[in-house]
Amino acid sequence: MSRSLHLRSLALALAATSATAALAAPVRLIQTQSQADFLAGTLDGVSVDERGVLALADRADRVAAIEEPFAFALVPVGEGWAIGTGDAGRVLAIGRDGARRVIFEGEASYVFALWADPD
């Protein structure tokens, strides 16, 4: 290949690259400062914490509030959940309607694991 052919090929490649770059969308930076900034929009498949940090997440709805300070174990049971708690060593049954009841109180202060059979 002659030198002039190399130069033409190089010029053609540079022209093609320049044309492609000229058609590209410009870079836009969108900056948010808080959780409120994110919540002003619509979140789909992500959550935002109180510091404004985004994370992948499924939708979560509050079903019930419990008085125990810690929930260490959670297992689906029937039409609700069983929750192993801390400080009081209780297992709570929480229905989908938010109804709560104590189903076990142990001597230990914490319930770290639960198992529920299908029946």
d(CA 83, CA 35): 29
pTM for the predicted model, two decimal places: 0.52
Convert the pLDDT of each residue in 22-67 to its tens digit: 566 777 777 777 777 777 778 788 888 877 787 887 776 777 888 8
2 or 45, which is more confident?
Answer: 45
Of 11-15, 64-68, 72-76, 98-102, the one with minimum mean pLDDT is 11-15
109-114 contact pairs (CB < 8 A, 24+): 110/70, 110/72, 110/84, 110/85, 110/86, 111/72, 111/73, 111/84, 111/85, 111/86, 112/72, 112/73, 112/84, 113/72, 113/73, 113/84, 114/73, 114/74, 114/75, 114/82, 114/83, 114/84
> Residue 75 — very low, low, confident or very high, per pLDDT cuts 50/70/90?
very high
